[in-house]
C-alpha cells in the first residue's frame, strides 16, 4: 500500500538526515492518518486513490507556497520547496498528457465542463492534472 511506502521512505529520510524529504513526507502521512480516522468513523477505509488525492493536494499547496516565496525572492525556501515537490511527484502514477486528455474528452457524448470533470475525477483520479482537464475543456 502507498501509505506504507510513504512511512518506510520517511524513516529512511530520517536516517539519511534529508530534512526536506522528511518534512513533506511527515505532512502527507499526518494528513493520511487524519483522513483514515475520518473514513473509519464512516465505516470506510483509506485506499491508494485517497492517498494519491492527498499527495496531489499537498503538491498544489507547495506550488502556491512556492509562488509566494518567488515573489519575495527567498531562494533557499524556493529550493527547499522544489525538492519537496520532486519527492512527492515520485509517488504519483504517470500523468496523462494533453493529447491523451483531449482524446478522452473527444470520446465523451456530453462535452459540458461539469460532465468532463466528473468523468475524469471518477475514472482517472491521481492520473491526471485536473487543472489541465479544466483548461482543455474550456478551450473546446
41 versus 131: which is more confidently predicted? 41
**The residue to which cell 513533506 is assigned:** 24
Residues comprising the chain, all counted? 140
Q: For 100-119, what is each residue's pLDDT tens digit?
A: 999 999 999 988 999 999 99
User: Residue 127: pLDDT band by 50, 70, 90 thresholds?
Assistant: confident
Tell me the pLDDT of the chain averaged across its residues. 92
CB 62 within 8 A of CB 84: yes
Which range is least confidently modeled, 27-41, 65-79, 113-127?
113-127
Q: Give the pLDDT confidence of 51-90 residue by residue, as tens digits.
A: 988 998 999 999 999 999 999 999 999 999 999 999 999 9
CATH number for the region 2-89 comes to: 1.10.1510.10
The reported pLDDT for the residue numbered 94 is: 86
Q: Could you identify the residue written with the cell 515573489?
A: 71
What are the structural domain ranges in the chain?
2-89, 98-139
Q: What is the pLDDT of residues 51-60, one digit of tens each?
A: 988 998 999 9
Give the pLDDT band of residue 140 (cuts 50, 70, 90): confident
Residues in CB range of 1: below 8 A, 6 or more apart: 48, 51
Amino acid at each position: 500500500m502507498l501509505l506504507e511506502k510513504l512511512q518506510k521512505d520517511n524513516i529512511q529520510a530520517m536516517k539519511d538526515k534529508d530534512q526536506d524529504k522528511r518534512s513533506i513526507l511527515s505532512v502527507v502521512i499526518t494528513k493520511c492518518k487524519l483522513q483514515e480516522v475520518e473514513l473509519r468513523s464512516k465505516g470506510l477505509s483509506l485506499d491508494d486513490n485517497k492517498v494519491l488525492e492527498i499527495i496531489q493536494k499537498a503538491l498544489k499547496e507547495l506550488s502556491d507556497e512556492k509562488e509566494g516565496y518567488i515573489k519575495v525572492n527567498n531562494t533557499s525556501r524556493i529550493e527547499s520547496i522544489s525538492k519537496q515537490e520532486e519527492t512527492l511527484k515520485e509517488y504519483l502514477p504517470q500523468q496523462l498528457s494533453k493529447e491523451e486528455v483531449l482524446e478522452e474528452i473527444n470520446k465523451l457524448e456530453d462535452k459540458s465542463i461539469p460532465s468532463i470533470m466528473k468523468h475524469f475525477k471518477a475514472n482517472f483520479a491521481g492520473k491526471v492534472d485536473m487543472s489541465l482537464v479544466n483548461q482543455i475543456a474550456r478551450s473546446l
